[in-house]
């Protein structure tokens, strides 16, 4: 599903209020320090809180090539049964897919924003990619609704990569124009509408 520039402003205004998400989990990308007020995740959290949605944003390993196991330890301390939706950013999406699959976790909605997969020589990063490529990660029996959303000008995530991920997890994929990897404010509203109450 690709949206022309002229229609993107209307995109987030036309949706079914099928259910209202009250509690979400936000998963950041690699080398992210949540103490930095400039990171884009804070704007997404602020917007969700204005919609009366509570959101947890745990701090994960901030290194540039974290092991899956280091992020897994943080996820193990979370009670997934209390979350209505999960919003992932970049590398965090790959971690969550593996974690949900390996632990048989059921979630209502998973929104994966710009699931990062660029060419990299980082060993631990590629171990995670290899797992997803070599194992069945179909999440349809665990997640009611799955969205993969990306911008076509995102050099960190070439279209063939995020479309491949969407097929792997059986997600609905949405392509935006000219928002790059971090996404701009209008895109944040679009993404948060998917988290809260939009269904296609």
Give residue for tokens 């992020």: 71
Output the tens digit of pLDDT for each of the chain's 200 residues: 554 444 444 444 433 333 467 899 999 888 788 888 777 677 778 878 887 788 999 999 998 889 999 999 999 999 999 999 998 888 898 899 999 999 999 999 998 887 776 666 788 888 888 888 889 989 999 999 888 887 777 777 777 777 777 888 888 877 777 666 655 545 566 666 666 654 44
pTM of the model: 0.79
Structural domains of the chain in order of their starting residue, each with its CATH number? 5-196 (3.40.50.1820)
């Amino acid at each position: 599903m690709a949206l022309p520039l002229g229609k993107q402003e209307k995109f987030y205004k036309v949706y079914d209020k099928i259910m209202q998400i009250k509690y979400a989990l936000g998963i950041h990308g690699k080398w992210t320090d949540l103490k930095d007020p400039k990171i884009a995740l804070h704007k997404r959290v602020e917007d969700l809180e204005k919609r009366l949605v509570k959101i947890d944003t745990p701090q994960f390993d901030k290194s540039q090539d974290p092991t899956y196991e280091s992020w897994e330890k943080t996820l193990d301390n979370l009670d997934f049964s209390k979350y209505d939706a999960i919003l992932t950013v970049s590398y965090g999406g790959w971690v969550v897919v593996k974690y949900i699959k390996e632990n048989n976790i059921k979630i209502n909605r998973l929104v994966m924003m710009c699931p990062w997969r660029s060419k990299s020589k980082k060993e631990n990063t590629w171990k995670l990619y290899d797992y997803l490529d070599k194992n069945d990660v179909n999440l349809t029996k665990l997640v009611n609704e799955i969205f993969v959303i990306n911008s076509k000008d995102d050099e960190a995530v070439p279209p063939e990569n995020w479309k491949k991920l969407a097929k792997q997890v059986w997600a609905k994929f949405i392509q935006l124009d000219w928002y790059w990897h971090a996404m701009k404010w209008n895109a944040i509203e679009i993404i948060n509408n998917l988290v809260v109450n939009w269904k296609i």
